[in-house]
Amino acid sequence: MSLEPVLSSHMKPALYLLAFTLLGNQALFGQKNDIGFLFGFSQRNASLRNDVIKGEVRTSFQFNPACLLKEGGPGRLYAEIPIMTAAGLNGKINDTVTGRVAGVAFITPGLRYHINLSPRLSLYFGGGFGFAAAGERIGVPNGLQLITTKKYHWSPAGNYGGGLDYRISDHFSLRAEARDFRASRETKVPGRNTGATVGFAVRF
């Protein structure tokens, strides 16, 4: 009795599985998507009232998932969702009232375009529109006590900026960028958050 038909019937599913795995890996190696993780500083400006509130340089973090829309010619076009968070903003409203914006977060979906400068290095520009949210704590002295209240504010927001992306492998790259996140001036969300960040991106 020949074993060839038996071996063939058992090997066909394995060959199909191997082909599917290889095709899947080819799709994976195409790197249609990426996620950026950027850390740095942002200069924040706000005006809660007519008196002085000064901006401060604070640490910021940006999480940026993106999907490749088109590739060809001089570069690549991505749809992205930059999510930027920054630490608090301290300010003095008057002699008896102090305020502190505890933190702010921007979510501004948009587009990002990479211009290929070399096989590994690209210059990119991006922008988008969404919303921003901030938390505010106000303290009012009352005798020997300090009464505090907390409020949360929302605002339309947008972003624009650019940076450099240097690919160190098929799945990782280094990034440095400058991006400006802006909220509406009529709200109590910090109006402008100009950030300079560095980090890395994971491609998949």
Strand partners, 58: 42
Q: How far apart are CA 62 and CA 84, in angstroms?
A: 4
Q: Between these two residues, 137 and 9, which has the higher pLDDT value?
A: 137
Q: Would the pLDDT of 81 be above 70?
A: yes
Mean model confidence pLDDT for the chain: 76
Give the model confidence (pLDDT) of 146-158 as tens digits: 667 777 888 899 9
Q: What is the DSSP string of the chain?
A: --SHHHHHHHHHHHHHHHHHHHHHHHHHHT--EEEEEEEEEEEEE--SSSS-----EEEEEEEEEEEEEEEETTEEEEEE--EEEE--EEEE-SSS-EEEEEEEEEE--EEEEEEESSSSEEEEEEEEEEEEEEEEEEEEEETTEEEEEEEEEEEEEEEEEEEEEEESSSSEEEEEEEEEEEE-TTSSS-SEEEEEEEEEEEE-
Domain boundaries, the chain: 1-30, 31-203
Grade residue 133 by pLDDT with cuts at 50, 70 and 90. confident
Q: Would the pLDDT of 121 be above 90?
A: yes
Q: How far apart are CA 122 and CA 76, in angstroms?
A: 10
Q: Would the pLDDT of 45 be above 60?
A: no
Q: Between these two residues, 5 and 203, which has the higher pLDDT value?
A: 203
Report the predicted TM-score, pTM, of the whole model to 2 decimal places: 0.70
Grade residue 88 by pLDDT with cuts at 50, 70 and 90. low
Q: Between these two residues, 117 and 194, which has the higher pLDDT value?
A: 117
Grade residue 37 by pLDDT with cuts at 50, 70 and 90. very high
The CATH number for 31-203, chosen from 3.40.50.410, 3.30.450.40, 2.40.160.20, 2.130.10.10, is: 2.40.160.20
